[in-house]
Amino acid sequence: MEQRTYHQYCATARTLDLVGERWTLLLVRELLTGPKRFGDLQASLRGLGTGLLAARLKHLEHEGLARKTTLPPPARTPVYALTEAGEELGPAVLALARWGLKWAMGERREDDTFHPGWAVLGLRACFDAGAAAGLRAVYEFRVGDEVFHALVDDGSIEALHGPAQRPDATITIGEDTFADVAGQRLTLAEAVETGAASASGDAEALRRLKGLFRLPAPRSRRPETKTT
């Protein structure tokens, strides 16, 4: 498949030459949270056929943004992982996520897929470093069948798939309720108050949790019509 190009000697255009094709940047999004098997990527990207997924991964490999590797024992599983150049797309992907929360999310459509694990990047995108000053805590999130956790260390965060070894606080919530929280139709505190979610663990860690992640207020992209 011939690679499309804008034929512009411009950094933005050259970047879009590499990651501007449909699905490519979403593959980068998936790999930003760690190495993934081919099947993992296919499961997370519903609508992306096997052939096109293979082509996009080959493109990322060819352009030096991803590579094939094998997980260490005992897994020994073939996976795809980002290179250094691919990892450095992280801030751009997080910026797109923040923009989307403000300007693009809107209501969930009936045919929209939602994976709670996408929140691993969402936690990084919405993290308020100032609110985490002086805090060292590990938060575990159990959303439906998925588990991920966040390590907060004095203004920094590392969010990862899988359970935490020794979480200071644990939040359990259903997938649909979590989607409502992500879409800002409900706050986590409201979900806990109504029993749609539960929170347990260290009282101070739980108290500070509500200020650690700040979602931008949704805005309409259409300018307001002024009445006279």
Q: Report domain extents, the chain.
A: 11-88, 116-212
Q: What CA–CA distance (Å, rounded) separates 151 from 116?
A: 18
Q: What CA–CA distance (Å, rounded) separates 137 from 206?
A: 10
Is it the case that residue 106 has pLDDT exceeding 90?
A: no
Is it the case that residue 67 has pLDDT exceeding 70?
A: yes
List the one residue out of 111, 96, 106, 110 whose CA is nearest residue 182: 106
List pLDDT tens digits, range 139-181.
999 999 999 999 999 999 999 999 999 999 999 999 999 999 9
Query: Which pTM value belongs to this model?
Result: 0.90
Q: What is the pLDDT of residue 183?
A: 86
The DSSP bridge pattern shows strands 169-173 and 136-143 to be: parallel
What average pLDDT does this structure show over 191-218? Answer: 94
Tokens at residue 203, please?
A: 């009282």
Q: E strands, the chain, where?
A: 66-70, 78-82, 136-143, 146-153, 156-161, 169-173, 197-201
What average pLDDT does this structure show over 215-227? Answer: 83
**pLDDT band (50, 70, 90) for residue 226:** low
Say whether the peptide bond before residue 74 is cis (omega within 30 degrees of 0). Answer: yes
What's the CATH architecture for 116-212?
2-Layer Sandwich (3.30)
Phi, psi of 211 (to 5 degrees): -100, 0
Q: What CA–CA distance (Å, rounded) separates 189 from 213?
A: 12
What average pLDDT does this structure show over 43-57? Answer: 95
Is it the case that residue 124 has pLDDT exceeding 60?
A: yes
Q: What is the pLDDT of residue 228?
A: 57
**pLDDT band (50, 70, 90) for residue 220:** very high
List the one residue out of 101, 148, 156 whose CA is nearest residue 124: 156
The DSSP 8-state label assigned to residue 163 in this structure reads -
Cβ neighbours of residue 70 under 8 Å, at least 6 residues apart?
Answer: 76, 77, 78, 79
Q: What is the pLDDT of residue 76?
A: 86
Is it the case that residue 227 has pLDDT exceeding 90?
A: no
Is it the case that residue 3 has pLDDT exceeding 80?
A: no
Secondary structure (3-state) at 18: helix
| Contact by Cβ (8 Å): 160, 146 | no
List the one residue out of 53, 68, 175 whose CA is nearest residue 113: 175
Helix (H) or strand (E) holding 203: helix 203-212
Q: What is the pLDDT of residue 1?
A: 53
The DSSP bridge pattern shows strands 156-161 and 78-82 to be: unpaired
* Average of per-residue pLDDT values in the chain: 93
Residues written for the chain:
228
Q: What is the pLDDT of residue 150?
A: 97
Q: What is the pLDDT of residue 24?
A: 97
What's the CATH architecture for 11-88?
Orthogonal Bundle (1.10)
**pLDDT band (50, 70, 90) for residue 72:** confident
Other beta carbons less than 10 A from residue 39's beta carbon = 10
**pLDDT band (50, 70, 90) for residue 73:** confident
